[in-house]
Structure 1
Amino acid sequence: MLAAHARTEAMLTLRNGEQILLTLLIPLVLLIGLSLLKIIDLPAPRVDSVTPRIFALAVMSSAFTGQAIALGFDRRYGVLKRLAATALPRWLLVAGRVVAGLVVVTIQLVVLAATALALGWSPSGLAWAVLLVILGTLTFGALGVLLGGALKAEVVLALANIVWFVLLLAGGIIVAADSMPDGMATIVRLLPSAALTDGLTTALMHGGVPDWSVFATLAVWGAGAAVIASRTTKLV
Protein backbone atom coordinates (compact mmCIF):
# COMPACT_ATOMS: atom_id res chain seq x y z
CA MET A 1 0.00 0.00 0.00
CA LEU A 2 2.83 2.35 0.85
CA ALA A 3 4.63 1.67 -2.42
CA ALA A 4 1.45 2.16 -4.46
CA HIS A 5 0.58 5.41 -2.71
CA ALA A 6 4.12 6.75 -2.98
CA ARG A 7 4.28 5.85 -6.67
CA THR A 8 0.98 7.64 -7.31
CA GLU A 9 2.13 10.78 -5.48
CA ALA A 10 5.45 10.80 -7.32
CA MET A 11 3.82 10.37 -10.74
CA LEU A 12 1.34 13.17 -10.04
CA THR A 13 4.24 15.47 -9.19
CA LEU A 14 6.30 14.50 -12.24
CA ARG A 15 3.31 14.99 -14.58
CA ASN A 16 2.66 18.51 -13.31
CA GLY A 17 4.25 21.07 -15.63
CA GLU A 18 4.42 23.81 -13.00
CA GLN A 19 6.10 21.43 -10.56
CA ILE A 20 8.67 20.40 -13.15
CA LEU A 21 9.43 24.07 -13.87
CA LEU A 22 9.98 24.79 -10.19
CA THR A 23 11.76 21.61 -9.15
CA LEU A 24 13.92 20.86 -12.18
CA LEU A 25 14.03 23.42 -14.98
CA ILE A 26 14.81 26.50 -12.85
CA PRO A 27 17.59 24.73 -10.86
CA LEU A 28 18.96 23.34 -14.13
CA VAL A 29 19.07 26.77 -15.78
CA LEU A 30 20.71 28.28 -12.69
CA LEU A 31 23.28 25.46 -12.57
CA ILE A 32 24.32 26.03 -16.18
CA GLY A 33 24.09 29.82 -16.03
CA LEU A 34 26.02 30.33 -12.80
CA SER A 35 28.66 27.78 -13.85
CA LEU A 36 29.34 29.36 -17.25
CA LEU A 37 28.62 33.04 -16.63
CA LYS A 38 30.33 35.27 -14.05
CA ILE A 39 27.09 36.69 -12.66
CA ILE A 40 28.38 36.58 -9.08
CA ASP A 41 31.87 36.05 -7.67
CA LEU A 42 32.49 32.40 -6.83
CA PRO A 43 35.62 30.35 -6.06
CA ALA A 44 37.04 28.48 -9.05
CA PRO A 45 36.17 26.10 -10.52
CA ARG A 46 32.74 27.71 -10.60
CA VAL A 47 30.80 24.51 -11.22
CA ASP A 48 32.20 23.00 -7.99
CA SER A 49 30.94 26.05 -6.07
CA VAL A 50 27.57 26.20 -7.80
CA THR A 51 26.54 22.54 -7.69
CA PRO A 52 26.06 22.18 -3.90
CA ARG A 53 23.99 25.39 -3.88
CA ILE A 54 21.77 24.14 -6.67
CA PHE A 55 21.35 20.79 -4.92
CA ALA A 56 20.12 22.66 -1.83
CA LEU A 57 17.78 24.73 -4.00
CA ALA A 58 16.39 21.59 -5.64
CA VAL A 59 15.66 20.00 -2.27
CA MET A 60 13.94 23.15 -1.04
CA SER A 61 11.96 23.57 -4.27
CA SER A 62 10.59 20.04 -4.23
CA ALA A 63 10.23 19.23 -0.54
CA PHE A 64 9.01 22.64 0.65
CA THR A 65 7.49 24.72 -2.13
CA GLY A 66 6.13 21.88 -4.22
CA GLN A 67 4.86 19.97 -1.19
CA ALA A 68 3.15 23.02 0.32
CA ILE A 69 1.37 23.98 -2.90
CA ALA A 70 0.30 20.41 -3.68
CA LEU A 71 -1.03 19.90 -0.15
CA GLY A 72 -2.88 23.21 -0.18
CA PHE A 73 -4.72 22.38 -3.38
CA ASP A 74 -5.33 18.77 -2.33
CA ARG A 75 -7.14 20.16 0.70
CA ARG A 76 -9.07 22.65 -1.42
CA TYR A 77 -10.38 19.98 -3.80
CA GLY A 78 -11.15 17.51 -1.03
CA VAL A 79 -8.50 14.98 -2.00
CA LEU A 80 -7.22 14.50 1.55
CA LYS A 81 -10.74 14.14 2.92
CA ARG A 82 -11.53 11.42 0.39
CA LEU A 83 -8.26 9.59 1.02
CA ALA A 84 -8.84 9.74 4.76
CA ALA A 85 -12.15 7.94 4.21
CA THR A 86 -10.46 5.01 2.44
CA ALA A 87 -8.67 2.02 3.93
CA LEU A 88 -5.37 3.95 3.94
CA PRO A 89 -4.35 4.81 7.53
CA ARG A 90 -3.30 8.40 8.14
CA TRP A 91 0.30 7.47 8.91
CA LEU A 92 0.50 5.83 5.47
CA LEU A 93 -0.84 8.97 3.78
CA VAL A 94 1.99 10.94 5.35
CA ALA A 95 4.61 8.24 4.72
CA GLY A 96 3.55 7.98 1.07
CA ARG A 97 4.14 11.69 0.55
CA VAL A 98 7.51 11.47 2.29
CA VAL A 99 8.67 8.55 0.14
CA ALA A 100 7.36 10.25 -3.00
CA GLY A 101 9.24 13.40 -2.04
CA LEU A 102 12.48 11.45 -1.65
CA VAL A 103 11.92 9.80 -5.05
CA VAL A 104 11.34 13.15 -6.78
CA VAL A 105 14.39 14.70 -5.09
CA THR A 106 16.50 11.71 -6.16
CA ILE A 107 15.43 12.15 -9.79
CA GLN A 108 16.17 15.88 -9.58
CA LEU A 109 19.64 15.37 -8.19
CA VAL A 110 20.52 12.64 -10.69
CA VAL A 111 19.66 14.98 -13.59
CA LEU A 112 21.48 17.92 -11.98
CA ALA A 113 24.52 15.81 -11.11
CA ALA A 114 24.76 14.48 -14.68
CA THR A 115 24.64 18.05 -15.99
CA ALA A 116 27.25 19.21 -13.47
CA LEU A 117 29.56 16.33 -14.41
CA ALA A 118 29.24 17.34 -18.05
CA LEU A 119 30.29 20.85 -17.02
CA GLY A 120 33.40 19.52 -15.25
CA TRP A 121 32.19 18.99 -11.70
CA SER A 122 34.51 16.96 -9.45
CA PRO A 123 32.47 15.72 -6.46
CA SER A 124 33.71 14.35 -3.16
CA GLY A 125 32.15 13.51 0.20
CA LEU A 126 29.12 11.83 -1.37
CA ALA A 127 28.17 9.84 1.75
CA TRP A 128 27.73 12.98 3.85
CA ALA A 129 25.91 14.66 0.97
CA VAL A 130 23.39 11.81 0.78
CA LEU A 131 22.74 12.04 4.52
CA LEU A 132 22.24 15.81 4.28
CA VAL A 133 19.89 15.47 1.30
CA ILE A 134 17.70 12.98 3.22
CA LEU A 135 17.66 15.16 6.34
CA GLY A 136 17.07 18.29 4.26
CA THR A 137 14.20 16.65 2.38
CA LEU A 138 12.52 15.61 5.63
CA THR A 139 13.04 19.06 7.16
CA PHE A 140 11.73 21.04 4.20
CA GLY A 141 8.97 18.49 3.74
CA ALA A 142 7.78 19.10 7.31
CA LEU A 143 7.88 22.86 6.68
CA GLY A 144 5.89 22.36 3.48
CA VAL A 145 3.24 20.36 5.32
CA LEU A 146 3.12 23.04 8.02
CA LEU A 147 2.39 25.74 5.45
CA GLY A 148 0.20 23.76 3.07
CA GLY A 149 -1.84 22.09 5.77
CA ALA A 150 -3.02 25.18 7.61
CA LEU A 151 -3.81 27.94 5.10
CA LYS A 152 -6.03 28.40 2.06
CA ALA A 153 -4.62 27.18 -1.25
CA GLU A 154 -4.30 30.67 -2.77
CA VAL A 155 -2.46 31.95 0.31
CA VAL A 156 -0.18 28.90 0.30
CA LEU A 157 0.62 29.43 -3.39
CA ALA A 158 1.65 33.04 -2.79
CA LEU A 159 3.56 32.47 0.45
CA ALA A 160 5.39 29.35 -0.75
CA ASN A 161 6.72 31.16 -3.83
CA ILE A 162 7.65 34.28 -1.84
CA VAL A 163 9.53 32.21 0.74
CA TRP A 164 11.28 30.27 -2.05
CA PHE A 165 12.42 33.49 -3.72
CA VAL A 166 13.59 35.10 -0.46
CA LEU A 167 15.54 32.02 0.65
CA LEU A 168 17.10 31.70 -2.81
CA LEU A 169 18.50 35.24 -2.72
CA ALA A 170 18.96 35.92 1.00
CA GLY A 171 18.77 32.52 2.66
CA GLY A 172 22.36 31.44 2.15
CA ILE A 173 21.88 29.58 -1.15
CA ILE A 174 23.05 31.86 -3.98
CA VAL A 175 24.81 34.35 -1.70
CA ALA A 176 26.72 32.54 1.04
CA ALA A 177 26.17 33.66 4.63
CA ASP A 178 29.93 34.29 5.03
CA SER A 179 29.76 37.08 2.44
CA MET A 180 26.95 38.92 4.26
CA PRO A 181 27.29 41.56 7.01
CA ASP A 182 27.96 40.01 10.42
CA GLY A 183 24.52 40.63 11.91
CA MET A 184 22.66 39.33 8.89
CA ALA A 185 25.05 36.39 8.48
CA THR A 186 24.34 35.24 12.05
CA ILE A 187 20.60 35.17 11.34
CA VAL A 188 20.96 33.51 7.94
CA ARG A 189 23.08 30.70 9.38
CA LEU A 190 20.11 29.73 11.55
CA LEU A 191 17.94 29.09 8.47
CA PRO A 192 17.58 25.53 7.12
CA SER A 193 18.43 26.75 3.61
CA ALA A 194 21.82 28.07 4.73
CA ALA A 195 22.51 24.99 6.86
CA LEU A 196 21.83 22.61 3.98
CA THR A 197 23.87 24.72 1.54
CA ASP A 198 26.84 25.01 3.91
CA GLY A 199 26.77 21.30 4.68
CA LEU A 200 26.62 20.24 1.03
CA THR A 201 29.38 22.70 0.13
CA THR A 202 31.64 21.33 2.85
CA ALA A 203 30.98 17.74 1.79
CA LEU A 204 30.94 18.02 -2.01
CA MET A 205 33.39 20.86 -2.64
CA HIS A 206 35.92 20.40 0.17
CA GLY A 207 35.46 16.71 0.92
CA GLY A 208 35.13 17.51 4.61
CA VAL A 209 32.75 16.54 7.39
CA PRO A 210 29.95 19.10 7.82
CA ASP A 211 29.84 20.87 11.17
CA TRP A 212 27.46 19.40 13.76
CA SER A 213 25.53 22.70 13.79
CA VAL A 214 24.35 21.99 10.23
CA PHE A 215 22.63 18.78 11.31
CA ALA A 216 21.33 20.39 14.50
CA THR A 217 19.78 23.31 12.61
CA LEU A 218 18.03 21.05 10.12
CA ALA A 219 16.84 18.67 12.86
CA VAL A 220 15.43 21.48 15.02
CA TRP A 221 13.56 23.07 12.11
CA GLY A 222 12.23 19.71 10.95
CA ALA A 223 11.15 18.50 14.39
CA GLY A 224 9.56 21.82 15.27
CA ALA A 225 7.65 21.99 12.00
CA ALA A 226 6.47 18.39 12.34
CA VAL A 227 5.14 18.94 15.87
CA ILE A 228 3.28 22.12 14.92
CA ALA A 229 1.99 20.64 11.66
CA SER A 230 0.55 17.63 13.50
CA ARG A 231 -1.67 20.05 15.42
CA THR A 232 -2.57 22.52 12.67
CA THR A 233 -2.94 20.46 9.49
CA LYS A 234 -6.53 20.30 8.24
CA LEU A 235 -8.13 17.90 5.78
CA VAL A 236 -10.10 20.67 4.07
Structure 2
Amino acid sequence: MPFIRDLSRRLAIASAFAVLTTVAQAAPSISIGTMFDYLGPSRSTLLKQVRNSGDTTAFVRISVSEIEYGEAGATTEHPVDTRRLSAGIGVGLIASPARLIVPAGGIQSTRLLFRGTRDKERHYRVRFVPVLPEAGDEFLLGDEERERIRAPLAAGVSILTGYGGIVIVRPDTPRFDTRVDQGEDRVVLRNEGNSTVVLDALTVCDASKENCTAPSVRHVRPGGRLELEKQSGHGVLFTLLEGDERREMHFW
Protein backbone atom coordinates (compact mmCIF):
# COMPACT_ATOMS: atom_id res chain seq x y z
CA MET A 1 0.00 0.00 0.00
CA PRO A 2 1.24 3.54 -0.75
CA PHE A 3 0.81 4.62 2.88
CA ILE A 4 2.86 1.69 4.18
CA ARG A 5 5.58 2.21 1.55
CA ASP A 6 5.75 5.91 2.44
CA LEU A 7 5.89 5.13 6.16
CA SER A 8 8.66 2.57 5.60
CA ARG A 9 10.65 5.09 3.55
CA ARG A 10 10.33 7.71 6.29
CA LEU A 11 11.37 5.25 8.97
CA ALA A 12 14.41 4.27 6.90
CA ILE A 13 15.41 7.92 6.49
CA ALA A 14 14.92 8.55 10.21
CA SER A 15 17.04 5.53 11.09
CA ALA A 16 19.82 6.62 8.73
CA PHE A 17 19.76 10.13 10.20
CA ALA A 18 19.98 8.69 13.72
CA VAL A 19 23.04 6.65 12.72
CA LEU A 20 24.71 9.67 11.13
CA THR A 21 23.94 11.80 14.18
CA THR A 22 25.49 9.20 16.46
CA VAL A 23 28.63 9.05 14.32
CA ALA A 24 28.83 12.82 14.08
CA GLN A 25 28.67 13.11 17.86
CA ALA A 26 31.55 10.65 18.26
CA ALA A 27 34.21 13.29 17.96
CA PRO A 28 36.46 15.38 20.18
CA SER A 29 35.61 19.04 20.72
CA ILE A 30 38.45 21.13 22.10
CA SER A 31 38.68 24.65 23.51
CA ILE A 32 41.76 26.63 24.53
CA GLY A 33 40.37 29.43 26.68
CA THR A 34 41.47 32.97 25.83
CA MET A 35 42.51 33.68 22.25
CA PHE A 36 45.13 36.27 23.29
CA ASP A 37 47.82 35.77 25.92
CA TYR A 38 50.60 38.13 26.99
CA LEU A 39 54.07 37.47 28.38
CA GLY A 40 55.28 40.47 30.34
CA PRO A 41 58.98 41.19 30.93
CA SER A 42 59.00 39.25 34.21
CA ARG A 43 57.56 36.08 32.66
CA SER A 44 59.01 33.60 30.19
CA THR A 45 56.48 30.76 30.51
CA LEU A 46 52.73 30.41 30.09
CA LEU A 47 50.56 27.41 30.95
CA LYS A 48 47.85 26.77 28.36
CA GLN A 49 45.02 24.35 29.09
CA VAL A 50 43.17 22.36 26.43
CA ARG A 51 39.69 21.12 27.32
CA ASN A 52 37.88 18.36 25.47
CA SER A 53 34.10 18.58 25.81
CA GLY A 54 33.55 15.88 23.17
CA ASP A 55 32.83 12.22 23.74
CA THR A 56 36.03 10.71 22.31
CA THR A 57 39.71 11.21 23.07
CA ALA A 58 41.39 14.18 21.36
CA PHE A 59 44.87 13.77 19.90
CA VAL A 60 46.15 17.34 19.59
CA ARG A 61 49.21 18.59 17.75
CA ILE A 62 50.56 22.01 18.75
CA SER A 63 52.56 24.18 16.35
CA VAL A 64 54.03 27.67 16.76
CA SER A 65 54.73 30.29 14.08
CA GLU A 66 56.13 33.79 14.45
CA ILE A 67 54.03 36.54 12.89
CA GLU A 68 55.84 39.29 11.02
CA TYR A 69 54.13 42.48 9.87
CA GLY A 70 54.82 44.18 6.58
CA GLU A 71 53.50 47.30 4.94
CA ALA A 72 49.81 48.12 5.33
CA GLY A 73 49.48 45.49 8.04
CA ALA A 74 50.19 42.51 5.76
CA THR A 75 51.38 39.50 7.75
CA THR A 76 53.60 36.51 7.08
CA GLU A 77 54.15 33.54 9.37
CA HIS A 78 57.30 31.49 9.84
CA PRO A 79 57.34 28.19 11.75
CA VAL A 80 59.54 28.28 14.82
CA ASP A 81 62.63 26.07 14.65
CA THR A 82 62.02 24.01 17.77
CA ARG A 83 65.21 21.97 17.40
CA ARG A 84 67.43 25.04 17.48
CA LEU A 85 65.50 26.53 20.39
CA SER A 86 65.70 23.29 22.35
CA ALA A 87 69.47 23.44 21.85
CA GLY A 88 69.55 26.99 23.23
CA ILE A 89 70.04 28.63 19.83
CA GLY A 90 67.94 31.46 18.43
CA VAL A 91 64.86 33.33 19.61
CA GLY A 92 61.32 32.01 19.74
CA LEU A 93 58.40 30.40 21.52
CA ILE A 94 58.11 26.64 21.93
CA ALA A 95 55.37 24.37 23.26
CA SER A 96 56.24 21.56 25.65
CA PRO A 97 54.83 19.05 25.11
CA ALA A 98 53.93 19.67 21.46
CA ARG A 99 51.32 16.91 21.50
CA LEU A 100 48.52 16.18 23.94
CA ILE A 101 46.18 13.24 24.49
CA VAL A 102 43.05 14.72 26.05
CA PRO A 103 40.40 12.24 27.22
CA ALA A 104 36.72 12.94 26.66
CA GLY A 105 35.58 15.45 29.27
CA GLY A 106 39.17 15.98 30.39
CA ILE A 107 41.84 18.68 30.49
CA GLN A 108 45.53 18.61 29.59
CA SER A 109 48.12 21.38 29.64
CA THR A 110 51.10 22.48 27.60
CA ARG A 111 53.72 25.00 28.64
CA LEU A 112 54.64 27.79 26.23
CA LEU A 113 58.23 28.85 26.82
CA PHE A 114 59.99 31.87 25.31
CA ARG A 115 63.72 31.67 24.76
CA GLY A 116 66.16 34.30 23.58
CA THR A 117 66.55 38.06 23.77
CA ARG A 118 63.61 40.42 24.23
CA ASP A 119 64.97 43.43 22.39
CA LYS A 120 61.57 44.03 20.77
CA GLU A 121 58.00 42.81 20.98
CA ARG A 122 57.23 39.57 19.17
CA HIS A 123 53.93 37.94 18.20
CA TYR A 124 53.32 34.20 17.81
CA ARG A 125 50.40 32.13 16.56
CA VAL A 126 49.91 28.87 18.45
CA ARG A 127 47.71 26.29 16.73
CA PHE A 128 45.97 23.42 18.49
CA VAL A 129 44.76 20.89 15.91
CA PRO A 130 43.01 17.56 16.66
CA VAL A 131 44.34 14.83 14.38
CA LEU A 132 43.75 11.15 13.68
CA PRO A 133 46.57 9.03 15.10
CA GLU A 134 48.72 7.42 12.40
CA ALA A 135 51.17 4.54 12.40
CA GLY A 136 54.60 5.70 13.51
CA ASP A 137 53.51 9.16 14.64
CA GLU A 138 54.51 10.93 17.86
CA PHE A 139 51.54 9.58 19.85
CA LEU A 140 53.20 6.12 19.95
CA LEU A 141 50.02 4.02 19.98
CA GLY A 142 49.93 0.30 19.33
CA ASP A 143 48.27 -0.91 16.13
CA GLU A 144 45.18 -2.31 17.86
CA GLU A 145 44.63 0.73 20.05
CA ARG A 146 45.18 3.13 17.15
CA GLU A 147 42.63 1.39 14.92
CA ARG A 148 40.10 1.23 17.75
CA ILE A 149 40.39 4.98 18.24
CA ARG A 150 40.39 5.85 14.54
CA ALA A 151 37.25 3.83 13.72
CA PRO A 152 34.58 6.27 14.96
CA LEU A 153 36.52 9.30 13.69
CA ALA A 154 37.39 8.10 10.19
CA ALA A 155 33.81 7.48 9.07
CA GLY A 156 33.82 10.68 7.02
CA VAL A 157 31.13 12.39 9.08
CA SER A 158 33.05 13.81 12.02
CA ILE A 159 34.68 17.21 11.57
CA LEU A 160 37.79 17.93 13.62
CA THR A 161 38.03 21.62 14.47
CA GLY A 162 41.27 23.24 15.62
CA TYR A 163 41.98 26.60 17.18
CA GLY A 164 44.71 29.20 16.95
CA GLY A 165 45.67 31.62 19.70
CA ILE A 166 48.03 34.60 19.73
CA VAL A 167 50.84 35.06 22.24
CA ILE A 168 52.33 38.54 22.54
CA VAL A 169 55.81 38.57 24.09
CA ARG A 170 56.58 42.04 25.40
CA PRO A 171 60.12 43.49 25.32
CA ASP A 172 62.39 43.63 28.36
CA THR A 173 61.44 47.26 28.99
CA PRO A 174 57.91 47.98 27.75
CA ARG A 175 57.15 51.65 27.17
CA PHE A 176 53.53 52.68 26.80
CA ASP A 177 52.65 55.95 25.10
CA THR A 178 49.11 56.01 23.72
CA ARG A 179 47.99 59.24 22.04
CA VAL A 180 44.25 59.83 21.69
CA ASP A 181 42.77 62.56 19.49
CA GLN A 182 39.03 63.20 19.44
CA GLY A 183 37.39 64.89 16.46
CA GLU A 184 33.78 65.62 15.64
CA ASP A 185 33.21 62.34 13.82
CA ARG A 186 36.00 60.04 14.99
CA VAL A 187 38.47 59.07 17.69
CA VAL A 188 42.04 58.33 16.58
CA LEU A 189 44.47 56.31 18.71
CA ARG A 190 48.20 56.17 17.98
CA ASN A 191 50.59 53.82 19.73
CA GLU A 192 53.88 55.69 20.14
CA GLY A 193 55.26 53.12 22.57
CA ASN A 194 57.14 49.88 21.97
CA SER A 195 54.47 47.40 23.08
CA THR A 196 50.92 46.55 22.03
CA VAL A 197 47.99 48.23 23.76
CA VAL A 198 44.52 46.69 24.04
CA LEU A 199 41.09 48.27 23.73
CA ASP A 200 38.94 45.99 25.86
CA ALA A 201 35.12 45.98 25.96
CA LEU A 202 34.99 48.41 23.04
CA THR A 203 31.40 49.42 22.41
CA VAL A 204 29.21 52.23 21.05
CA CYS A 205 26.32 53.35 23.27
CA ASP A 206 23.51 55.85 23.15
CA ALA A 207 23.21 58.60 25.77
CA SER A 208 21.42 56.30 28.23
CA LYS A 209 24.23 53.69 28.00
CA GLU A 210 21.47 51.06 27.89
CA ASN A 211 21.57 50.46 24.14
CA CYS A 212 25.08 49.43 23.15
CA THR A 213 26.75 47.40 20.44
CA ALA A 214 28.25 44.03 21.34
CA PRO A 215 31.62 44.59 23.05
CA SER A 216 34.77 43.71 21.12
CA VAL A 217 38.53 43.72 21.64
CA ARG A 218 41.03 45.58 19.45
CA HIS A 219 44.82 45.65 19.53
CA VAL A 220 47.11 48.47 18.41
CA ARG A 221 50.70 47.44 17.73
CA PRO A 222 53.71 49.72 18.26
CA GLY A 223 53.67 52.43 15.61
CA GLY A 224 50.08 51.59 14.69
CA ARG A 225 46.92 53.67 14.69
CA LEU A 226 43.24 52.94 15.01
CA GLU A 227 40.32 55.11 13.91
CA LEU A 228 36.94 54.75 15.61
CA GLU A 229 33.93 56.41 14.03
CA LYS A 230 31.56 58.40 16.21
CA GLN A 231 27.83 58.50 15.57
CA SER A 232 25.55 61.38 16.38
CA GLY A 233 24.08 60.97 19.84
CA HIS A 234 26.33 58.01 20.63
CA GLY A 235 29.55 57.56 22.56
CA VAL A 236 32.59 55.33 22.13
CA LEU A 237 33.52 53.48 25.32
CA PHE A 238 36.38 51.10 26.10
CA THR A 239 39.00 50.16 28.65
CA LEU A 240 42.55 50.94 27.54
CA LEU A 241 45.02 48.31 28.74
CA GLU A 242 48.68 49.30 28.78
CA GLY A 243 50.36 46.28 30.32
CA ASP A 244 48.92 46.01 33.84
CA GLU A 245 47.51 49.55 33.79
CA ARG A 246 43.82 50.13 33.01
CA ARG A 247 42.12 53.35 31.96
CA GLU A 248 38.41 53.81 31.32
CA MET A 249 37.90 55.89 28.17
CA HIS A 250 34.60 57.55 27.17
CA PHE A 251 34.21 59.80 24.12
CA TRP A 252 30.94 61.60 23.29
- TM-score tier after normalising by the smaller chain length: under 0.3
TM-score by length of 1: 0.26
TM-score by length of 2: 0.25
- Structure with the greater alpha carbon radius of gyration: 2
The structure whose residues are more often helix, as a share, is: 1
The structure whose residues are more often strand, as a share, is: 2
